[in-house]
Amino acid sequence: MGNSQNYGYFEQFNNRLARAYRYFDLVFYWAYWSVARLIMGNVKSPAKVLEVGSGTGRLANMVSGLGYYVVGIDASLPMVKQARRFWKPDFINGGSWRLPVLRESFDAAVAVFTVHHWGNHDLSMANVRDSLKRGGLFIVAEVDGDRISAHGHSCTVRCLTNALEPYFNVTIKRKFPLLFAIARRD
């Protein structure tokens, strides 16, 4: 591997910070539920769902409880350890720049509050696209940077569209304060 700077910025967590981050699960529960409803409305269960940037595993656990087979991937090993408290989803250490999954093995992928960290969007988007079966969906949720400032933790419609459109057919939806992209692989 080359310099990690080429792979974008991602937050580094030690075990203590990863445990504390579980409290954000409560703050973001409404956003996770919004994404789970998008999955249910667009992908029939049982289906295989990949979560890129699964953090403490709350969304992956929620979606697996709805009858989906979920694999969560996170670049932070302490976050993966926190996520493994849930017994049903599978969690592995990895990043968007090098997904440790088989090509065309998922019906859907999801990324919540992480795409703004990916840096090299071309490499990451190509990897997500390649992990999806033909016709598979990639659902992205970010803070709507066109409407509120989140100090570098948001995306604009333009930024998200530019990152996704070379690889997917994209539909953008807004539900304040979030921006959703529903991107379909051809």
91-116 residue pLDDT tens:
999 999 889 999 999 999 999 999 98
* 68 or 18, greater pLDDT: 68
Running DSSP on this structure, what letter comes out for residue 89? Answer: S
Closest by Cα among 60, 61, 79 to 11: 79
Would you state the pLDDT for residue 172? 97
Query: In whole angstroms, what is the distance from residue 168 CA to residue 96 CA?
Result: 16
With a cut of 60, say whether residue 7 has pLDDT above it. no
**pLDDT digits 0-9 by tens, 154-171:** 889 999 999 999 999 999
Report the predicted TM-score, pTM, of the whole model to 2 decimal places. Answer: 0.90
Tokens 């310099």, located at residue: 3
- Look at the domain 12-184 and name its fold: Rossmann fold (3.40.50)
Helix (H, G, I), strand (E, B) or coil at 172: strand
Running DSSP on this structure, what letter comes out for residue 46? Answer: S
Query: In whole angstroms, what is the distance from residue 74 CA to residue 81 CA?
Result: 10
Would you state the pLDDT for residue 154? 82
Q: Which residues neighbour 4 within 8 Å (Cβ) at sequence distance 6 or greater?
A: none
Calculate the CA 125 to chain-centre distance. Answer: 11
Radius of gyration of the chain (CA): 15
